Amino acid sequence: MISLTSVYKSFNGNSVLENIDLSIRNDQVYCLLGKNGAGKTTLINLILNLIKPDSGMIELLSKPNDQLDNQNKAKIGVLREDMATINELTGFDYLTLIGHFYNMPGNLINQKINEFASYFLDEKETELNNRIEIYSFGMKKKVALISAIMNEPNILILDEPFAGLDPLSAKKLVVYLNSYRSPERLILLSSHNLNYIKQIATHVGVIHKKKLLFNSGISEFPVQKGESFEDAFCRIIESQ
Amino acid sequence: MWQIFKLLLKNFFGLKKSKRLYKRIIFPFSSVLIGILIGYLLNEAGDGLLTKSSDELITFLLTALFLLPFLRIIFPAYRPLRRIVLSYYPVSHFNKMIINLIIDMLSGFFIFLFIFLLTLSIISKDFNIKFLIQSYLLVISSHLLRTIVQNLIENRYNLRSFILINIMLIMILIISLFRHPFEPSNFNWTLIIFGLSVFILLLIESTVPFQTRSAIYLKRLPVKNIFWQLIIYNKGVRMSLIIGLIVKIVFFISDMLFVKRTGRHIMDGNLLYWIFIAAPTIHFSYVFNNLWGNYRFLWLHLKLHFDNDWHEYFITFYKIIFIPLLIDMVISLIFLIILWNNKVFVISYYLLSLVFLCCFSIYWSFVCPAYLTDSAIFKIAHSPKGNFICLVVTGFLYLMKINSWFYLLAPFLIVISVSLLLKLRFDIKMNKWDVYLPLFSE
């Protein structure tokens, strides 16, 4: 479970997020929507304790997010917008390193890499044995994605998971995320691709003008008759 | 081209940033002052008041002017080539070269050099307009040669071009050694060196490199160890460490030759030599004092997976720096052999500085991390305060050579080093240092 209470964040005196109250339960697939620079990534960084809020309380797994121990942290998987891949390593070595960070046994790491690589990659062996530095953007994204899910975490946080993926890979990801949902798991993602969001999200939050403008189930999203999901989103933003 | 020239001038003399004040006032003032001083010195030499003649001094000056821009290739740090006018712009090779040259010549270093030379030619009776032209031609040639060598370091050319470029570089070397283009009477040879440099650079501009060296590196060296891979395949770190090690080897070998010839050591009474060459300081100032700046995503993963667990940070940090330091230690054995009579001091100096630097670098990597963009990778300036502390402490250790009582510094330094580690351990637990924002707010 992720819980934010009255969270306020500013940079150099300029507020970015104001009075954010948010609760994401297990079994939810919660999608953050918003314009570029709305504060989605900042919110994710706050949740991950990469930056501190000016005020407010953030809890993960029923603990304040700065008091999680290594066992708690092993239950969290993250895909960042910048992917955070270590370019000096090969894809295989990178995933092995991340597996060790998750304290996974060696044979399980190999098994998971093979399993996910055969699902997401085309020619897994040759691709994973190359250095990440020479990977295409999409390939880096897939490797970063595998690193986030290889431990099958209870909390999966994905920042712009569809950006840079070809339609086939994006579709595979949609299928995977839908199958990943379970009562013990929670998925938080941010994306601009509303087409994919419609297919996986159970709940939606819209961040606009520093506030959480809309926070509810996707079925309650105010889509009017004859209007698409994208149109409804634009209307909400433009009406403010 | 005139537009580019105007833009650069405007940028240089613009009043946008107050921190450029020193550039506009102090540096030109210093250049003028040094020009006046050396001008008077040349006048005194011309009047026979010094043991050296004015011609000898001008030769010395021209040699220094030729070496100075070229040596900037490694001092203060190696900086990759800037490619302002890329190959896909519809600009001729000659214009491309001229534009790049103008951009470089309008940098602070060359402007102040020009002010200095102009002042010198006004003050000195002997350093006339001919020497002014000769000196500036040597400065430009040296800069062009630096660009040529960097092109050869960073790119891979076809065999024919590579051989041709190298033949001409050897010609320049032969002319420099045997035809003395730095003597006031050998203006023609200066012109030939300038012409050859321009020709080689034009050849390079017109030859498309078929691969960059970094791309070659990506496919070679099947290294298994993850931490060794981090060193080898990180361009900035690799180059910085290689340059540091080469500088050390070159100085050690030079010292061996110097001892054979004169019976004295280069490092006798030379504190900078001890700080930079004898101790492993150079690697710390280049890379290790800001290790997370070089491996920010590695730090991010450690933060995401272990957060306040100091143990993982420490292990990862020392595993990365272990192999380069081991290589440095092996190379430093040459130094020990050179100074075998002073073995106690050499070993104490090296090991004590190593202990302090190892403890300080991890501490400083947390306290003052700085993200390194591609263009800033080789700048030492990313960690100036930390580097200054390292230099001062390593310099203090030299006192042990002056008086044995200063060996008492050893336990004191070890206590400080261990205290730094303990403090960092506590700080990590308390989540005291903000590493994320400096590394990720580009």
Q: What is the pLDDT along chain A (240 residues), one digit of tens a residue?
A: 899 999 999 988 889 999 999 999 999 999 999 999 889 999 999 999 888 899 999 999 999 998 888 888 899 999 999 889 998 888 999 999 999 988 899 999 999 999 999 999 886 666 788 888 888 899 999 999 999 999 999 999 999 999 989 999 999 999 999 999 999 999 999 998 888 998 999 999 999 989 998 888 988 888 888 888 888 888 888 887
When CB atoms are compared, the residue of A49, A80, A134 closest to B307 is: A49
Q: Do A51 and B431 touch (CB under 8 A)?
A: no
pLDDT value for B20 = 59
Q: Do A76 and B304 touch (CB under 8 A)?
A: yes
Contacts with A159 from chain B: Cβ below 8 Å: none
A93: contact with B, CB 8 A cutoff: yes
pLDDT digits 0-9 by tens, B188-205: 888 998 999 998 888 887
pLDDT value for B218 = 46
Q: Do A51 and B437 touch (CB under 8 A)?
A: yes
Q: Which domains does chain A have, with CATH numbers?
A: 1-75+155-160+184-240 (3.40.50.300)
Shortest Cα distance from B314 to chain A (angstroms)? 14
B396: left (phi over 0), alpha (psi -120 to 50) or beta: alpha
Contacts with B218 from chain A: Cβ below 8 Å: 131, 133-134
pLDDT exceeds 50 at position B240: yes
Show the CA angle centred on residue B67, arms to residues B63 and B70, nearest 5°: 155
Instruction: Pick from B234, B297, B298, B309 the residue to mutate for testing the A interface (most A CBs within 10 Å).
Output: B297
3-state secondary structure of A204: strand
Chain A's closest residue to B436, CA to CA, is: A50
Q: Do A131 and B233 touch (CB under 8 A)?
A: yes
Nearest alpha carbon to residue A25 among A186, A178, A214, A197: A186
Chain A / chain B CB contacts < 8 angstroms: 67
pLDDT exceeds 60 at position B115: yes
Shortest Cα distance from B362 to chain A (angstroms)? 20
Shortest Cα distance from B302 to chain A (angstroms)? 8
pLDDT exceeds 60 at position B379: no
The Cα–Cα gap between A218 and A233 comes to: 12
- Helices first, then strands: H and E counts in chain A: 9, 10
Chain B's closest residue to A93, CA to CA, is: B226
Instruction: Pick from A88, A129, A130, A156 the residue to mutate for testing the B interface (most B CBs within 10 Å).
Output: A88
Q: Do A101 and B306 touch (CB under 8 A)?
A: yes
CA B96 to chain centre: 26
Q: Do A131 and B301 touch (CB under 8 A)?
A: no
| Gyration radius of chain A's alpha carbons | 18
Shortest Cα distance from A85 to chain B (angstroms)? 7
Residue B353's pLDDT band (cuts 50, 70, 90): very high
Shortest Cα distance from A88 to chain B (angstroms)? 5
Around Cβ B48, how many Cβ atoms within 10 Å? 9
A86: contact with B, CB 8 A cutoff: yes
What is the average pLDDT across B287-302? 91
pLDDT value for B7 = 64
3-state secondary structure of A189: strand
